[in-house]
Structure 1
Amino acid sequence: MLDLAIIGGGPAGLTAGLYATRGGLKNVTMFEMGMPGGQITGSSEIENYPGQGEIMSGMDLMANWPEQAMKFGLKHEMNQVSNVVKEGDIFKVTTADGNIQEAKTVLLATGSVPRRAGFKGENEFFGRGISTCATCDGFFYKGKEVAVIGGGDSAIEEAVYLSKICSKVYLVHRRDTYRAAPSTIEHMKACENIEEVTNVMVEEVYGDAMGVTGLKVKNRETEEIRDLPVPGVFVFVGRDVLNEPIKQEDGSFLCDVNEQGEVIVDLKMKTSTPGLYAAGDVRIDAAKQVVCAAGDGATAAVNIIEYIG
Structure 2
Amino acid sequence: MTEEKVKVLIIGSGPAGYTAAVYAARAGLKPVMITGGQPGGQLTTTNDVENYPGYPEGVNGPQMMMDFQKQAERFGTDIRFGQVTSVDFSGYPHKAVVDDKHEITAESVIISTGASAKHLGIPSEKEYYNKGVSACAICDGFFYKDKVVAVVGGGDTAAEEATYLANLCPKVYLLVRRDEMRASKIMQSRVLNTPNIEVLWNTQTDEILGDGESVNAMRVVDTQTGEKREIALEGFFVAIGHTPNTGIFKDYLDMDETGYLKTIPGSSKTNIEGVFATGDAADKVYRQAVTAAGTGCMGALDAERFLQAKEMELVSEN
Name the TM tier (shorter chain): 0.7 to 0.9
Asked if 1:24 is matched to 2:24, the reply is no
SS at match of 1:63: helix
Cα displacement (A) at 1:233 = 7.2
User: Which residue of 92, 102, 107 maps to 1:89?
Assistant: 92
Query: 1:249-288 to 2 correspondence within 5 Å?
Result: 253-266=251-264, 267-288=266-287
Structure-2 residue corresponding to 1:307: 306
Tell me, yes or no, if the aligned pair for 1:84 and 1:93 is still in contact at 8 Å.
yes
Structure-2 residue corresponding to 1:199: 200
AA at the equivalent of 2:57: E
Tell me, yes or no, if the aligned pair for 2:9 and 2:109 is still in contact at 8 Å.
yes
Return closer, same or farther for 1:196/1:170 CA change in 2, 3 Å cut-off. Answer: farther
Cα displacement (A) at 1:196 = 6.3
Structure-1 residue corresponding to 2:150: 171
* TM-score, normalised by the number of residues in structure 2: 0.71
SS at match of 2:96: strand
AA at the equivalent of 1:185: A
Name the one with the larger helix percent: 2
Return closer, same or farther for 1:273/1:132 CA change in 2, 3 Å cut-off. Answer: farther
CA deviation string 1:258-294 (max 9, x = no partner): 1111000022200001111100001044410111100
AA at the equivalent of 1:255: L
Tell me, yes or no, if the aligned pair for 1:265 and 1:284 is still in contact at 8 Å.
no
Return closer, same or farther for 1:30/1:187 CA change in 2, 3 Å cut-off. Answer: same
CA deviation string 1:67-122 (max 9, x = no partner): 111111111111101111124211110122422111111111100111145xxxx4
Rounded Cα–Cα distance in structure 1 between residues aligned with 2:197 and 2:169: 10
Structure-2 residue corresponding to 1:143: none
User: Which residue of 5, 11, 15 maps to 2:15?
Assistant: 11
Cα displacement (A) at 1:47 = 2.2
Return closer, same or farther for 1:129/1:300 CA change in 2, 3 Å cut-off. Answer: same
Return closer, same or farther for 1:100/1:255 CA change in 2, 3 Å cut-off. Answer: same
Structure-1 residue corresponding to 2:125: 130
SS at match of 1:89: coil
SS at match of 1:179: helix
Return closer, same or farther for 1:15/1:97 CA change in 2, 3 Å cut-off. Answer: same
Asked if 1:218 is matched to 2:222, the reply is yes
Q: Which runs of 5+ in 2 are unaligned?
A: 173-195, 209-216, 309-318
Rounded Cα–Cα distance in structure 2 between residues aligned with 1:302 and 1:217: 51
Structure-2 residue corresponding to 1:141: none
What is the percentage of aligned positions where both structures have the same residue? 27
Rounded Cα–Cα distance in structure 1 between residues aligned with 2:149 and 2:165: 16
Rounded Cα–Cα distance in structure 2 between residues aligned with 1:82 and 1:179: 35
Structure-1 residue corresponding to 2:177: none
Q: Which runs of 5+ in 1 are unaligned?
A: 139-145, 208-212, 248-252
Rounded Cα–Cα distance in structure 1 between residues aligned with 2:145 and 2:278: 34
Tell me, yes or no, if the aligned pair for 1:40 and 1:59 is still in contact at 8 Å.
yes
Rounded Cα–Cα distance in structure 2 between residues aligned with 1:181 and 1:205: 20
SS at match of 2:276: strand
Query: 1:88-107 to 2 correspondence within 5 Å?
Result: 88-107=91-110
- Aligned positions, number: 270
Return closer, same or farther for 1:289/1:214 CA change in 2, 3 Å cut-off. Answer: closer
Tell me, yes or no, if the aligned pair for 1:132 and 1:234 is still in contact at 8 Å.
no
SS at match of 1:105: strand
Across the aligned residues of Structure 1 and Structure 2, the Cα RMSD in angstroms comes to: 3.7
* TM-score, normalised by the number of residues in structure 1: 0.73
Tell me, yes or no, if the aligned pair for 1:134 and 1:161 is still in contact at 8 Å.
no
Structure-2 residue corresponding to 1:250: none
Rounded Cα–Cα distance in structure 2 between residues aligned with 1:254 and 1:240: 18
Tell me, yes or no, if the aligned pair for 2:162 and 2:197 is still in contact at 8 Å.
no
Cα displacement (A) at 1:171 = 1.0
SS at match of 1:19: helix
Cα displacement (A) at 1:159 = 6.8
SS at match of 1:273: coil
Return closer, same or farther for 1:181/1:171 CA change in 2, 3 Å cut-off. Answer: closer
Cα displacement (A) at 1:241 = 0.3
Rounded Cα–Cα distance in structure 2 between residues aligned with 1:173 and 1:38: 23
